[in-house]
């Protein structure tokens, strides 16, 4: 029996509310040997108080030693095994710019490149064309028609864009057209499998039409396509857990990831305070609330230790407003660690806290990487966090008699 079958078998509906507050890249490292981490440096009276009431642990996003991107990081938190459910590059890229993929879509990431008269690549990134210049080229491409499918072209940044083909019988099994070299022509789109034959033909027709349209562009007169992918077939929160789930996020990537799990996007909040306003507003309409806080990750990526500390304190300060709504289960976690010292995502376990009346005390009185190691959940796979959320929300029946 798979874990998802078990969830479906045991899930029950009731009126409990679950809040999952994801501080992106929450875990950190001391900058120097013997020093303190960002969480240890920050003043977090609310998190510490909640740690004394709840149960803590260290969640492992994928596997020990594996650093996840935002996609696998969030899939794990949402209860999907990030090794079993993959979001293809094209689908993630489309999701990241807020393009809502449908069930008949195949998305690919496009890079503009510069071709010579013979059609050979002279610059793989079209001279790192500026975004505003590139956006105009994307606008031109939106005129491309391919018979039998709808085509959507959307800008990303600089030389990068997304193309989505929508139609019956499409499949993500098409090879990248990037030869990964200059002096050669882009490859023709080739199907890996029989199911992708039509998609490869569609992509070929798109590239050919684009080539004609862009022939006078000084930099972006060609393109390569990578990471063809359909929308991943994630069971929805409603179907899997019986939860009406709301996502309150600021950035398109996280809105997109939540949508892939069937969550409804709520509001247009731009700050954490506005996100909590939104939470209060939609409180009666949903059972599960995913709140995403980006800045613990972006400050970590910048290597800005004191700024990450401040962002943690900002997060801590908002907690009483969330507690005032009396969630039955309140979770604070991250999708991965982003230590300022490393200026990047990392594989280190993520400090995680769950607060509910059914928590068994684990003796902790502080929320930090070091304390969470001794927490009552131990060191556990992130994909099991939703099992604990459902249990503490008393939304699981008994397994077997």
Interface with a copy of itself (CB under 8 A):
1, 3, 6, 10, 27, 29-30, 33-34, 37, 53, 58, 62-72, 82-84, 86-87, 89, 92-93, 96, 341-342, 344-349, 358, 360-363, 369-370, 373-380, 384, 387-392, 396-401
In the numeric block, which tokens belong to residue 397? 């029946």
Instruction: Centre a 10 Å sphere on the Cβ of residue 360 and count the other Cβ atoms it contains.
Output: 8
Q: CA-CA distance, 84 to 337, in Å (whole number)?
A: 22
Query: Which CB sits closer to a copy of itself, 200 or 390?
Result: 390
What are the residue ranges of helices labelled H in 43-179?
45-53, 70-77, 89-96, 131-141
Q: Which residues of 329-356 are buried (b: 16+ CB within 10 A; e: fewer)?
A: bbbbbbbbbbbbbbeebbbbbbbbbbbb
Q: How far is the CB of 47 from a copy of itself (least distance, A)?
A: 17
Cα 228 to the center of its chain, rounded Å: 18
Contact 336, 65 (CB under 8 A): no
Q: What contacts 107, CB < 8 A, 6 or more positions away?
A: 88, 90, 91, 93, 94, 99, 101, 162, 163, 164, 165, 228, 229, 230
**Among 226, 206, 222, 203, which residue's Cα sits nearest to residue 214?**
222
**How many Cβ atoms are within 10 Å of 144's Cβ, its own excluded?**
18
CB closer to a copy of itself out of 240 and 276: 240
Give whichever of 176 and 362 is closer to a copy of itself, judged by the CB atom: 362
Indicate the residue among 221 and 337 with the shorter CB distance to a copy of itself. Answer: 337
Nearest approach, Cβ of 394 to a copy of itself (angstroms)?
9
CB of 79 to a copy of itself, least distance (A): 10
Give the CB-side neighbour count of residue 236, counting CA atoms within 13 A: 11
Nearer to a copy of itself, 265 or 379 (CB): 379
Q: How far is the CB of 217 from a copy of itself (least distance, A)?
A: 28
Q: Write the DSSP assignment of 12-69 as a string of letters.
A: ---S--EEEEEETT-----SSTT---HHHHS--HHHHHHHHHSEEEEEESSSTTPPP-
In terms of CB distance, is 284 or 398 closer to a copy of itself? 398
Q: Which is nearer to a copy of itself, 3 or 239 (CB)?
A: 3
Least separation in angstroms between CB 189 and a copy of itself: 21
Report in angstroms how near the CB of residue 13 gets to a copy of itself at its nearest: 17
| Spatial separation of the C-alpha atoms in residues 212 and 140, rounded to whole Å | 11
Q: How far is CA 337 from the centre of its chain?
A: 14
What per-residue string of b and e applies to 147-185 under the rule 16 or more CB within 10 Å gives b?
eebebbbbbbebbbbbbbbbbeebbbbbbbbbbeeeeee
Q: How far is the CB of 94 from a copy of itself (least distance, A)?
A: 12
* CB nearer a copy of itself, residue 89 or residue 292: 89
Q: Choose between 82 and 222: whose C-beta lies nearer to a copy of itself.
A: 82
State how far the alpha carbon of 145 is from the alpha carbons of 90, 136, 206, 213, in Å.
20, 17, 7, 11
101, 382, 385: which is closest to 259 by C-alpha?
101
* Beta carbon nearer to a copy of itself, 209 or 342: 342
We find the least distance from the C-beta atom of residue 178 to a copy of itself, in angstroms, to be 16
Q: Closest CB to a copy of itself among 140 and 384?
A: 384
Name the minimum Å distance from CB 190 to a copy of itself.
21
Q: C-beta of 62: minimal distance to a copy of itself in Å?
A: 6
Are the C-beta atoms of residues 315 and 48 closer than 8 Å to each other?
no
CB of residue 398 to a copy of itself, shortest distance in Å: 5
């Amino acid at each position: 029996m798979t874990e998802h079958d078990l969830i479906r078998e045991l899930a029950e509906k009731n009126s409990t509310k679950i809040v999952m507050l994801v501080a992106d890249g929450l875990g950190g490292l001391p900058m120097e040997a013997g020093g303190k981490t960002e969480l240890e440096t920050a003043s977090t009276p609310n998190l510490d108080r909640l740690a004394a009431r709840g149960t803590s642990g260290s969640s492992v996003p994928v596997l020990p030693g594996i650093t996840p991107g935002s996609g696998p990081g969030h899939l794990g938190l949402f209860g999907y095994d990030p090794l079993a459910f993959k979001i293809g590059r094209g689908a993630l890229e489309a999701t990241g710019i807020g393009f809502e993929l449908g069930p008949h879509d195949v998305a690919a990431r496009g890079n503009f490149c510069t071709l010579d008269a013979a059609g050979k690549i002279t610059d793989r990134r079209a001279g790192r064309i500026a975004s505003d210049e590139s956006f105009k080229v994307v606008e031109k491409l939106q005129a491309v028609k391919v018979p039998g499918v709808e085509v959507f072209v959307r800008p990303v940044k600089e030389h990068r864009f997304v193309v989505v083909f929508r139609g019956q019988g499409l499949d993500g099994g098409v090879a990248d057209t990037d030869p990964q070299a200059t002096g050669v022509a882009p490859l023709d789109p080739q199907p890996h499998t029989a199911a992708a034959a039509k998609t490869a033909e569609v992509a070929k027709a798109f590239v050919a039409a684009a080539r004609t349209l862009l022939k006078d562009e000084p930099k972006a007169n060609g393109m390569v396509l990578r990471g063809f992918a359909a929308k991943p077939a994630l069971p929805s929160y409603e179907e899997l857990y019986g939860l009406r789930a709301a996502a309150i996020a600021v950035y398109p990537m996280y809105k997109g990831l939540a949508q892939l799990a069937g969550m409804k996007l709520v509001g247009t909040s731009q700050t954490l305070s506005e996100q909590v306003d939104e939470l209060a507003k939609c409180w009666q309409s949903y059972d599960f609330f995913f709140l995403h806080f980006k800045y613990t990750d972006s400050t970590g990526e910048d290597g800005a230790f004191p700024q990450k500390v401040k962002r943690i304190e900002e997060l801590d300060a908002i907690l009483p407003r969330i507690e005032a709504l009396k969630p039955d289960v309140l979770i604070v976690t991250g999708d991965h660690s982003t230590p300022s010292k490393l200026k990047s995502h990392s594989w280190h376990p993520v400090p995680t806290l769950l607060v509910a009346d059914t928590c068994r005390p684990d003796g902790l009185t502080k929320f930090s990487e070091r304390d969470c190691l001794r927490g009552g959940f131990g060191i556990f796979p992130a994909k099991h966090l939703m099992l604990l959320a459902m249990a503490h929300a008393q939304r699981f029946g008994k397994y077997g008699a």
